[in-house]
A and B are shown apart, each in its own frame.
Chain A
Amino acid sequence: MKSDKPINSFCGQTRREFVHTAAGGFASLALSGLLELDGFFVRPARGAGVDQVLRSPLAPKKPHFAPKAKRVIFLFMYGGPSHVDTFDYKPKLYPLDEKTIEIKTFGRGGHKSQGRVVGPKWQFQPYGQCGKPVSDLFPHLATCVDDIAFIHSMTADSPIHGSAMLMMNSGHILSGRPSLGSWVNYGLGSENQNLPGYVVMLDRTGGPISGAKNWTSGYMPASYQGTVFRPKGDPILDLKHVDGMAPREQRTLLDFLHRYNMEHAEKRADNSNLEARIASYELAYKMQSSTPEAVDFSKESDTTKALYGIDQPRTADFGQKCLLARRLAERGVRFIQIYSGGSHNDANWDAHSDIVKNHSYHAGNTDKPIAGLLTDLKQRGLLDETLVVWGGEFGRQPTAEYAKGTGRDHNAYGFTMWMAGGGIKGGVSYGETDELGSAAVTDRLHVRNLHATVLSLMGLDPNHLSYFYGGLDQKLVGVEGADPIRAIMA
């Protein structure tokens, strides 16, 4: 069949093959490719032209260019931390406390043109060689500023949680798009086939709003979606048998299953999906031992645990997640996302009524663990190849939301995120909000630029990484494309 389609190439596939895979036209996206790595197959797969069938969706793929980072740890401060109380120092805001001023804001409470200022509730001190002012909320993290690039001119399309969460995780305010971690795994595959390539750890109080939509693979195959990981108990769903099956028993079962399946496959030797499924049971078996090994902290020293704050009740939970993130990073997990905050209202950083109470709580839970993570990654030589991203779905307004109290409404006109590690310049700050922190004014950036930066550092060209769906070459950074933030890239 001759194709009269435009000559074009997508991730090394022809358009036809691409459309095909995207439409799920192949009977299956098989695992054989990755098992070839393990020398699992003795028999070569049959038939020409079925290379794509034999490639695992998560088999390692070549990046577009040399990557600066091998993996990402995204610390998601769900609910929207206030930039003027954390990293975006606004000295002029303090004396305006309680004064009503003309100011354009847009948040949950709608568009407003004036508001009562809430002065920053913490003092800022300069830290590190770069002298970056950091608020007293983060005494530990502040010691790491020389490794961090602060981005103060972030903007997003929405100051409403529902759409803003989707924006930060999938680049679009409309539901249904694959998340950042899915794009990374789609583009690069996974280094470790015995663990998921994309791991999500949620807050004790529950998931963020929209739940699984935040780590969905959208219109891509489910192989690219995030797997929810728990630092305690069964790390992944169904990793252990529901009412306990002894390893011996399970091995016997698997051996007999293998025997039956091999006999079945023998008469259907050309169907690689059957082999892939046989292999998937061996992989599952391996996951049952490799996953608990990943979450087992018994070989971690007390010093290391203390570094993450695991010895303190306040920081133990987030500290465990950060330590687990490092262990997963060491084991080749490509994209790890940890949520600080879950559920609704003050269970996350969504400080509508009392910023002091809310931010003291969430910063207090996470400051030491995050500093511990950066320090530990660095001392193990992992920071250079691990990209750490910190931030929420938006920031908060310099003014109060209600007539009383210190709560701030959402702010997508300007907010701060930071990155550290693989390919990032340390000790720099990029972009500015106005002197009150209400909107980004200098070097304004969009969430798409942040996403483009992550992809670029991972060796993927954000403007070429595409997936054909719904008649379009879909991209994380949208049809318009976006540049990475070169000023903070080493």
Chain B
Amino acid sequence: MLRSLSIFRIGRLAGLCLAVLGVPSFAQSEADDSQKLRFFDDEVLPILEEHCLKCHGAETKIKGGLRLTSREGLLRGGDQGPAIDLKKPEASLFLAMISYRDDDHQMPPKGKLSPEKSVVLSRWIAMGAPYDPRRELAAAPDENSGRPILAEGRSYWAFQPLKAPQLPEVNEVAWRKNPIDTLVLGKLSANGLSPASAAARGTLIRRAYYDLVGLPPTPDEVRAFEADESPGAFERVIDGLLASPRYGETWARHWLDLVRYAETNGYERDGPKPEAWRYRDYVIGAFNSNKPYDQFVREQIAGDELDEVTFESLVATGFQRLGIWDDEPVDADQAFYDSLDDVVATTAQTFLGLTVNCARCHDHKIDPIPQADYYRMLAFFRNTFENIKQGEFKKSAFTLNTTTPLATPAEQEDYARRKNELKERIEGLEAKILPFEDTIVATFSNPEKDDAKDERTRRALIERKQEAALSAEALAEYLNLRRELGDLKRVALQPLPQGLVIRENGAKAPETFILIRGSAHSPGDMVTPGFPQVLGFPDPEIPAQPEDGKSSGRRRVLADWIAGRQNPLTARVMVNRIWQHHFGRGIVRSSNNFGKLGDRPTHPELLDWLAVEFMRTGWDMKALHKQIMLSKTYQMSSQANEAGLQKDPNNDLFWRFDMRRLRAEEIRDSVLFLTGNLNGKMGGPSIFTDVPKEVLQTASQPDRAWGESAPEERNRRSVYVYVKRSLIEPVLGTFDLADADSPCAVRFSTTVPTQALTMLNSRFFNQQASALAVRLQREAGASPEEQALRAFSLALSREPTRAEVATAVEMIDRLQSEAGISAEKALERFCLLVINLNEFVYLD
């Protein structure tokens, strides 16, 4: 006993020395149990209490899953494994942590323990971590039962196989034709509500135009539709709109929000993503050509692994390269997984409506998605992002910006040949120039020769000395050769088109490990590609790839599974999105989250009916639009009635059509359309609008923050405006553009005074007001009545009332008489008023 006590004392005094020498000797000593416990109580527990138990002993939430309030807690350990190793105490994780040896594993986080305290804890571990049972605090009963229960999760509605629902009986004949109506009306009737009356034809055609092409109808189109009372009139309008290229431009924008489309990487340099616009054009084309949705899915996930790989399908894979990317990562290994996480999160939310990303660090707290499922999904993409080693980012061939030529082998060969020819000619000229320059350089002084090691300085020196060094004749010949070389170097070979695509590193994918707490530095168990277990699919077989194959074939398997008819989520998620952009909200309002934290469908049968129908028609998106728009439900008025407001103020049951504010792009495009300035040119590299100096000045390099496009280019549709992560186009940004750093399923629609300032005071809106005034004068002459009439017809798709015209005339008069401005200016102000009207920016 005395002997042991003395060891304690020496241990405390001798500090670090004994940490090495003393531990084994103590471990071999024969201290009895009560001795050990007293050591624990007197020496160890105070340290634990002071430095550890706040996070690892709390009654409710414990950090890292590690509980240090019992010996069992130490043995069981936390997310990183057992804290102590009884067989090899010196190798215990606990000791590694407090030693601060490794940058990523240091405890306590506030600072390294004093050497004295470290010795005490080392001794304690060495003796097998005795714990005074009277001081133990057991784990809370539910602490370890929070794991998602897969079996229970399987009964969740979104994971049920799809089947066509039974249609209810409804009385109204007109509502029996379209199952959408039957299902909506059935529910309304059950709740004692009746649907709103049909919208006026002018309202309906305006609604249809905005929904499908993002622009208003012209007054002539409105008149023609109002006059056409034949049965198929509205259907013909829909067909015409679906056939318009403007349709793809409008619906592509919804999709681009989901896939966090941007054309720069973010961070310090916010560098451009080369050729990203081709992906935007791919999406526009996919909607316009009515590409079957399952094909659309397959191409984006695995366009390079399909049976038939096309340039189009390659460009589609650019979807995986659109995310944020730090070209100077603080931790390259972690950054590699951040990039994969971006793809996993976007893929799961966009195609499956699942927030699998919540399981990156631990099992999903609410949804039945264990952490392993996250890494099983990540394994499909594991071969796509090559790691950048620390500090080598500048030299690395890997960037998110990898492009590939979109050209046939023959075209590529031809290009290489021409490039080579040019190179040879340049080299030939350079060889001729060399002797002249040698002569000039020979006249350099020694310090000049030193300076000339820098090419730019060498060039400057040569230019300064050439006249003195060469004869007039030689100089002339030399300058001629230089000119020729310059001309040749300026010859721009028409470069091959390039695509921003995903590429794998060969046929064999590296192994994938579960990362404990999401840390790239803490690999856990190995996993292989697999689907979320709750959905109950067998683990996939990845077909063997030829050894020299370009890719692992994994994404193809994932794509086929997502686009497969057995998948209960894919069709539900997509029909919900299409519904959302017609009705302003999805049947499931949280359209990227079909999990337990998302909203329940207001009409589950309707959702299923649409999904089944969607697949039945071969994933035909245009057919789905048409089916929806031909329903009475879609054609209802937005007018409220007392019963509806009382019983269902949020319109969960669709007793009327919800009004909505135009989106940012619709506002800008409509204003340009109204004035006749909208340039309908499609596709190609993005354009730069006229951005005020004040906005450019917010960038770290104001002069290089934005580009310049020709005036008519600036007036193209908003979907073509350059998307730069660190500089948001101000007109669009004012009206709740999606943040491009993460997927955006539902845009906000805020109402703030700065929007009013933009619409009243900014250059863009005032320029357009002037342009509208010019148009009115041209088309309606000098009469204020006629001008007002025309303005309302153009902007609101309806004829104004007499009173409205009279008000307009009164305003134009008063501006002249009271504010003393000219008739032209007064008309411009009236035009500004028109584009500021609530009726212009809100759809009925």
Contacts and interface: CB of A to CB of B under 8 A. Distances in A.
Whether chain B is bound by chain A comes out as yes
Contacts, number: 328
Contacts of A213: 266, 725-726
A38 interface: no
B760 A250 contact: yes
B349 A238 contact: no
Contacts of B747: 24
Interface in A280-320: 280-281, 283-284, 287-288
A248 interface: yes
B748 A29 contact: yes
Contact of A25 (B326, B590, B763, B838): B590
A23 B589 contact: yes
A455 B761 CA distance: 36
Given A23-B590, A24-B748, A283-B753, A210 B819 contact: no
Contacts of B366: 6
A243 B725 contact: no
A440 B111 contact: yes
A328 to B, nearest CB: 16
Given A174-B324, A211-B700, A222 B733 contact: yes
B753 A175 contact: no
Contact of A207 (B600, B652, B697): B697
B361 interface: yes
Interface stretch (B204-212, B564-572, B829-837): B829-837
Interface string B255-275: 000000000001111100000
A353 interface: no
A357 interface: no
B173 interface: no
Given A31-B752, A175-B266, A228 B698 contact: yes
A280 B746 contact: no
B702 interface: yes
Contacts of B267: 162-163, 166, 175, 209-210
B598 to A, nearest CB: 7
A7 interface: no
A1 B602 contact: yes
A459 B750 CA distance: 26
A159 B330 contact: yes
Given A238-B761, A344-B700, A158 B330 contact: yes
B807 A212 contact: no
B interface, how many residues as a size bin? 35 or more
Contacts of B428: none
A31 B746 CA distance: 20
Nearest to B743: A470
Contacts of B592: 23, 470
Contacts of A19: 590, 593, 597-599
Interface stretch (B120-128, B134-142, B502-510, B654-662): B654-662
Interface string A169-193: 0000111100000000000000000
Q: Is the interface of A mostly helix, strand, loop or mixed?
A: loop
Contact of B698 (A27, A46, A202, A268): A202
Interface string A343-356: 11000000000000
Contact of B726 (A210, A236, A288): A210
A264 B750 contact: no
B821 A249 contact: yes
A230 interface: yes
B756 A283 contact: yes
Given A29-B750, A256-B807, A280-B756, A242 B762 contact: yes
Contact of A281 (B269, B585, B756): B756
B285 interface: no
Interface in B673-714: 692, 694-695, 697-702, 705
Interface string B736-778: 1001011111111111111111101111001000000000000
Interface in B81-133: 109-112
Given A176-B739, A222-B736, A274 B268 contact: no
Interface stretch (B535-543, B621-629, B810-818): B810-818
B754 A227 contact: yes
Contacts of A164: 330
A161 B268 contact: yes
A238 B639 CA distance: 35
Nearest to B602: A1
A273 interface: yes
Contacts of A209: 267-270, 700, 726
B63 A471 contact: no
A395 B266 CA distance: 23
Interface in A1-39: 1, 3-6, 15-16, 19-20, 23-31
Interface string A30-74: 110000000000000011111000000110000000000000000
Interface residues of A, number: 120
Interface string B787-818: 00000000000000000100100110011001
Contact of B358 (A16, A57, A342, A472): A472
B757 A287 contact: yes
Contacts of B751: 28-31, 273, 276-277, 280
A25 B754 contact: no
A257 B841 CA distance: 13
Contact of A343 (B338, B391, B602, B700): B700
A222 B844 CA distance: 25
A443 to B, nearest CB: 6
A268 B761 contact: no
Given A249-B821, A261-B838, A264-B839, A202 B266 contact: no
Interface in A208-240: 208-213, 216-219, 221-223, 227-228, 230, 233-234, 236-240
A222 B728 CA distance: 12
A157 interface: yes
A46 B640 CA distance: 11
B177 to A, nearest CB: 28
B748 A222 contact: yes
A321 interface: no
Contacts of A331: none
Contacts of A435: none
A480 B519 CA distance: 14
B480 to A, nearest CB: 42
A176 B705 contact: no
A160 interface: yes
Contacts of B328: 160, 162-163
B546 interface: no
A209 B726 CA distance: 8
Contacts of B112: 441
Interface string A121-143: 00000000000000000000000
21 contacts: A3-B600, A23-B593, A24-B747, A27-B749, A163-B326, A175-B324, A206-B699, A208-B700, A212-B728, A237-B692, A241-B760, A252-B815, A263-B804, A268-B640, A273-B842, A283-B756, A443-B110, A443-B111, A444-B111, A470-B742, A472-B358
Given A49-B650, A278-B838, 12 more contacts: A23-B593, A202-B698, A208-B700, A213-B725, A221-B750, A236-B757, A238-B760, A243-B766, A256-B807, A277-B842, A444-B110, A472-B358
5 smallest CB-CB distances across A and B, nearest first, come from A471-B355, A176-B741, A162-B267, A162-B268, A284-B756
